[in-house]
Amino acid sequence: MIRTHAAGLVLTLAGVVAAQAPSTDPAARRETPGMRARALLELAERGGEGAFERSCAALDDPVSVVREAACAALGILGDARAVPLLRERLAEGEDWIAAAQALGRLGDRPSFDVILARLWSGKESWFALRGAVEALCSLDRSCAIALLGSQLAAPDGPHGPGLGALLARVGPDGDLRRTATRLLQDQRLPVRIEAIAALGGAGDLGTVSMLMGRLGTAEPVAERIALVEALGALGHEFAVDPIAACLDTGDALLRMAAVEALERIGHPTAASALARLIDAEQDDLALLVRALVAVGRLGSEQGLAVVARRLDDERQQRQAPEFSRVFPFPMNTFVCDAAAWAALQLLDGTAPIERDALMAFGRDTPHFDAAQRAALRARIAGRLSR
């Protein structure tokens, strides 16, 4: 999905494809649906003459991307005459999320209950529903948080992945913190995981200490992984040590989540923790490769010495079955290739290979040959001797 910045409009991928599809009508080729959608938004932003009338007429356009743009344009214009038209589409139309966003922008509080009802009855993905949650928060922030939290806590509520991300759309907020903290006491693991996701995604640094404390005692490991991911998303350096401690556990997924979180935090102490892992790890080659890539992307020269020592490691990691959900593409990278990539990132700030291409090489021999790696080792020695 893509978002047009000016209008805050969510356009579905299907809508974009339809908007870009060639037409058999010569007149339509001169003005595609995508062009009409952009024109509506631009006219509304300028407050141009006839913008309201054109937007109203476009609500009946046969192409969804144009109808969504028309809803957004009416929200931008702020004309109360649009409310009945948008309410009609909210109640019955396919473009109800765009209508909800526009009504939120117009401050139409009576639409709140209708948006909430459609939120749980629709078949849209959690990602698509973000616009509806934003509309609810625009109309009544505190009530939206309370109702979303109640829905998550309900015995028959939706506990699948994504509801925490919807709550996180609220952003840093005292009501959200209180609601999510209460949900952390729920006996059901999926509810706790979604509450953790909400706290991490909302960006509330005031929750870092609480999440850190919980990380030391949480069970099962799925909850610890959620806590590590949330702390990584919050990005505070205080979380480095408890996250780094997870590298010493025996769970492969938790250790991988810790590497990802340390990279997201990006503080020098995180780079140091990753360097220690690279120096000591012997068995988990997937973790070793991922840590090398993380050190390279962080750009901290603290990792140069340990990266140099891995340039001769020609073991090839094979993707374990438990990582199929984390890395859907095959990962068969040589450790020395990851080390060479990291070295180039640290020395030059760039590498001739994209990260994802490196991670999915699947070659029978290393990409960087012995001579190239020897040259890199010499460059690192020169850099370290300065």
The pLDDT-based confidence of 7 (bands split at 50, 70, 90) is: very low
Average pLDDT, the chain: 80
The pLDDT of residue 297 is: 86
Domain 1-24+31-107 CATH assignment equals 3.30.70.2740 = no
Calculate the CA 213 to chain-centre distance: 24
pTM above 0.75, yes or no: no
Residue range 349-370: average pLDDT? 71
Beta-strand ranges (E) seen in the chain are 2-4, 9-11
DSSP class of residue 317 equals -
The pLDDT-based confidence of 18 (bands split at 50, 70, 90) is: very low
Cβ within 8 Å of residue 288, ≥6 positions away: 277, 278, 281, 310, 317, 335, 338
Q: Which is higher by pLDDT, 13 or 335?
A: 335
Q: Which amino acid is at 167?
A: L
Q: DSSP letters of 193-259?
A: HHHHHHHHHHT-GGGHHHHHHHHTT--SHHHHHHHHHHHHHHT-GGGHHHHHHGGGSS-HHHHHHHH
Percentage of the chain modeled with pLDDT above 90: 31
The pLDDT of residue 359 is: 61
Q: Which fold has domain 204-265?
A: Leucine-rich Repeat Variant (1.25.10)
Sequence spans of domains, the chain: 1-24+31-107, 204-265, 266-386
Please state which of the ranges 134-143, 320-329, 363-372 shows the lowest mean pLDDT.
320-329
Per-residue pLDDT for 9 more than 70? no
The pLDDT of residue 165 is: 67
Residues listed for the chain: 386
Per-residue pLDDT for 256 more than 70? yes
Helices 130-153 & 174-183 angle (0-180, nearest 10): 40
For tokens 């640094």, name the residue: 205
Within a 10 A sphere around the Cβ of 240, how many other Cβ atoms? 21
Classified as helix, coil or strand, 50 is: coil
Judge contact between 312 and 266, C-beta under 8 A: no
> Encoding tokens for residue 1?
């999905």
Per-residue pLDDT for 71 more than 90? yes
Per-residue pLDDT for 161 more than 60? no
Judge contact between 126 and 162, C-beta under 8 A: yes
Per-residue pLDDT for 123 more than 70? no
Q: Fold match between 1-24+31-107 and 204-265?
A: yes
Cβ within 8 Å of residue 204, ≥6 positions away: 172, 173, 176, 177, 234
Q: Say how far apart CA 100 and CA 139 lie, in whole Å.
A: 10
Angle ∠(260,266,269) on CA atoms, nearest 5: 105
| Whole-number CA gyration radius for the chain | 25
Four-CA torsion 335, 338, 339, 342, nearest 10 degrees: -160
**Residues 295-347: tens digit of each pLDDT:** 888 877 778 888 998 998 888 876 555 554 444 444 577 888 888 888 888 88
Per-residue pLDDT for 228 more than 90? yes
The pLDDT of residue 16 is: 37
